[in-house]
Structure 1
Amino acid sequence: MVTQKMPRQNPATASEERSTVPISFLQNMLSGARRHLSAHDIDTLAAQAGISPLLLRQGGARVTREQFVKMYERVALFMGDEMLGLWSRPIRAGALKYLGLSLLDAPSLMVAMYRFTRFWNLLLDDYRLRMARAHGVATITIAPRHDSTTPTPFGHELMVKLIHGVASWLLGRQLPVQGVGFAFARPAKFDEYAKLFPGPVLFGQEASSVSFSEAVLRQTFQRTRGELLDFVRRAPDDWIFVTFDHDTTTSQVRDFVAAHLASGASLDEAAGSLHMSDRALSRKLAAEGTSFRAVKEEVRRDLAIQRLVKTREPIDRIAASVGFDNTPAFHRAFRTWTGSTPRGYRRRASPG
């Protein structure tokens, strides 16, 4: 499992405070599967993953991380394709395991990631992975084999996540990246799940790519076969949801807010916990493209959705637990977040 290096919230909150996933990300994940499966098949698999088919059709909906992972697993098993029909040929079960086994004895992360590219070049007909090094930066590109090849955006996003996730797992920490490029236009709703690709991300590039510092890839690692099997069993959770920038101010503020929502979680208190002034914290968050208010709203939203979906806890109690003084205010905020009332969302979220 990839090691987190940020201060974590208390154990009672940590299990609940996990970012929810916008329905647009789930729909993009299903883009390859929809070419092979019927709408009925998709609905059935969603229900098996604990997702109501009604929720799949609600534009502002979000699913829990666990639901997303279960949906991925159900579709992969049903299709016999670990990459969900996103490439021109299916990636059969066991590919991730044998990929990992080919990396374990590599003398450095650089060699391991070169082997990673060679492994995928045996499986992909429409794309070729290449590693190039220049000016202290190593870049892995996903280049089309034919000029007429049209990229499947989520396939490329998924491969970038897999490259980063495997490299991070091998080294035991979430690795920073120098940059990410995608060979397609910016998706209309990319902002909704941009946290999975924080940092420098460019669109409309000649080829999709992810770059690392050579100094990072020169490091050695030690992983056992048993650890690999655990990593494979947890897939795709560990590698899809590993972030590029693991020690950001935003992540630290998010942890603080999640642990102190019921008692208020003010900007002043958050700044004090990080040993900085209110202004300094606001400037750091602004540099990362967010604000204290936005982070607090996201944590409230994610915790509220988690509890609505996973528990039968009364709505007024959920409202209080995420920091609302009264239930009507919580209803208004929840409608802004999802386009639905809490009760209606809970009803549509239930696969039954």
Structure 2
Amino acid sequence: MPADTPDLLPGPALTPMALVRAMALAYRARGMDPAAALAQAQIPPEHLNDPQARITAAQMEAVSYAAMRELDDEALGCFERALPWGSYGLLARASLSSPTLAVALKRWCRHHGLLANAVALSVETSGERAAIALRLRRDPGPLTELCVVSVLRNIHGLAAWFVDSRIPLLEAHFPYAPPPHVEAYAVLFDAPARFGTDQAAIHFDSRYLSLPLRRDEAAMSQLLQRALPLTVRSYRRDRLLVQRVRQLLARQPLETHNADDLAALLHTSARTLHRQLREEGANLQALKDEVRRERASQLLLRTDRPIKQVAEAAGFRNEKSFIRAFRAWTGQSPGDFRRR
């Protein structure tokens, strides 16, 4: 490797080679050779047909960039027509003036349909859940997985960039059977995956749709110089994390006694949960105290439940620990608080 060529191999190799193999098929459909793109990404050609082969995020970024430029197709052969270099930049710019993420995503999906008829994209909401749905209007054949994965990761990454926040996924749906590398989907989407569904979709908390866009034209120009990392690297900040933690503590007090239990419900680790809360200026114990105090106070004032039942409903394992905590919060025992 030349001295001035960056090494793309360090880091976990988790991206399945099947996605690169689909890119190679797009080359061959046009009578072109993917050798140069593979070389730029430091991918040995003989690994293309190895079902166990994996590449790093940096390699995926490099091979995608090279293929898009050589093919002059940001869709990598997945649609009925090529999307020339800069097409997705135009889509992003067209949504930049939107007041909220909901408006931006709906614009993006509508404008995407003007560029490519092969897929139909939409934003759907149902109560507290939202989804970006993708329906295939034509069969991409062996490029189906590349098409679905790349489009959904593209719009998910752009959405997170628009609001400068992680947007954790609740579920991801795919209209094909589980592939041999199904375990890689936990990395690609970081959410429970369902296969064989009617359409592809990524599901998330609908409250993210009301967040305002936090980017301007200068940030967009900088982004478009290196947009591909959006699809392979996630944000650390989560602007709704504090609200989501409060909601879980209030709704599932018996399942959120400790950080490990709460983190599992949020599909993350306790260590990551504590770090992200610190980044948002919050503290898990303070949030637990706030939610429990509010819940206990309401029950004491509005119901005649025994103290033991109030303690359990507020998320305490026993009455004694509840009385001790309530006295620390208010300077009174639960009984005195109710009487006064």
Query: Shorter-chain TM-score: which interval?
Result: 0.5 to 0.7
- What is the alpha-carbon distance in structure 2 between the residues aligned to residue 84 and residue 163 of structure 1? 16
What CA distance in whole angstroms lies between the structure 2 residues aligned with 1:35 and 1:169? 34
What is aligned with 2:224? 232
Alignment pair present for 1:36 and 2:29: yes
- Matches for 1:92-241 after TM superposition, within 5 Å: 92-145=84-137, 152-241=144-233
Matched residue count: 245
Structure 2 segments unaligned to the other structure (5+ residues): 1-7, 240-257, 270-340
1:308 corresponds to: none
Aligned mates of 1:59, 1:87 — CA distance in 2? 25
Q: Does 1:56 align with 2:48?
A: yes
Q: 1:235 to 1:143 in 2, by over 3 A?
A: same
Structure label with greater radius of gyration: 2
Q: 1:33 is aligned with what amino acid?
A: A
What is the one-letter code of the residue matched to 2:194? Answer: L
The higher relative CO (CA closer than 8 Å, separation ≥ 6) is in 1
Give me the whole-angstrom Cα distance separating, in 1, the residues matched to 2:53 and 2:33.
20
Contact 1:86–1:152 (Cα < 8 Å) also in 2 = yes
Structure 2 residue matching 1:81: 3-state secondary structure: coil
The answer to whether 1:74 aligns with 2:66 is yes
CA contact (8 A) 1:87 1:124 kept: yes
User: What is the alpha-carbon root mean square deviation over aligned residues?
Assistant: 3.6
Corresponding residue of 1:331: none
Give the match for residue 312 of structure 2: none
- Check 1:141–1:284 CA distance in 2 against 1; reply closer, same or farther (3 A cut): closer
Q: Are the aligned partners of 1:177 and 1:244 in contact in 2 as well (CA < 8 Å)?
A: no
Does the aligned pair in 2 maintain the 1:179–1:199 contact within 8 Å? yes
- Shift in Å, 1:167: 0.5
Q: 1:289 to 1:165 in 2, by over 3 A?
A: closer
Superposition deviation, residue 43 in structure 1? 2.0
Distance in 1 separating the partners of 2:210 and 2:35: 46
Matches within 5 A, 1:186-335: 186-242=178-234
Deviations 1:194-220 (A, max 9, x none): 311222221111111122322111011
Query: Contact 2:185/2:193 (CA < 8 Å) preserved in 1?
Result: no
Distance 1:60-1:140 versus aligned 2 partners, 3 A rule: closer
> Residue 75 of structure 2 aligns to a residue in which SS?
coil
Once residues 169 and 237 of structure 2 are traced to their aligned partners in structure 1, the CA distance between those partners, rounded to angstroms, is: 8
Q: Distance in 2 between matches of 1:126 and 1:244?
A: 33
2:207 and 2:72 map into 1 onto residues whose CA distance is 38
Distance 2:226 2:220 in 1: 10
Question: 2-side partners of 1:89 and 1:224: how far apart?
Answer: 31
User: In structure 1, what residue type is equivalent to 2:38?
Assistant: A
The 3-state SS of whatever aligns with 1:191 is helix
The amino acid that maps onto 2:97 is D
CA distance in 1, matches of 2:19, 2:119: 23
What amino acid is aligned across from residue 20 of structure 2 in structure 1? Q
Structure 2 match to 1:350: none
TM-score for both structures, normalised by structure 2: 0.62
State which drifts further: 150-159 or 216-225: 150-159
CA deviation after TM superposition for structure 1 residue 285, in Å: 7.7
Residues 88 and 124 of structure 1 are in contact (CA less than 8 Å); yes or no, is this contact kept in structure 2?
Answer: yes
Structure 1 residue 289, shift from structure 2 partner: 10
State the SS of the aligned residue for 1:175.
coil
Relative distance call for 1:51 and 1:153 in structure 2 (3 A) is closer
Identity %: 23
The separation in 2 between residues aligned to 1:246 and 1:33, in whole angstroms, is 37
Structure 2 contact 134–200 (Cα < 8 Å) conserved: yes
Which residue is 2:17 aligned to?
A: 24
SS in 2 for 1:209: strand
Residues 246 and 221 (structure 1 numbering): CA distance in 2 closer, same or farther, change over 3 Å? closer
Unaligned runs of at least 5 residues, structure 1: 1-14, 248-276, 291-352
Q: Distance in 1 between matches of 2:187 and 2:63?
A: 20
Residues 144 and 104 of structure 1, relative CA distance in 2, 3 Å threshold: same
Q: Which amino acid aligns with 1:19?
A: P
Query: In 2, distance between residues paired with 1:33 and 1:244?
Result: 34
TM-score by length of 1: 0.60
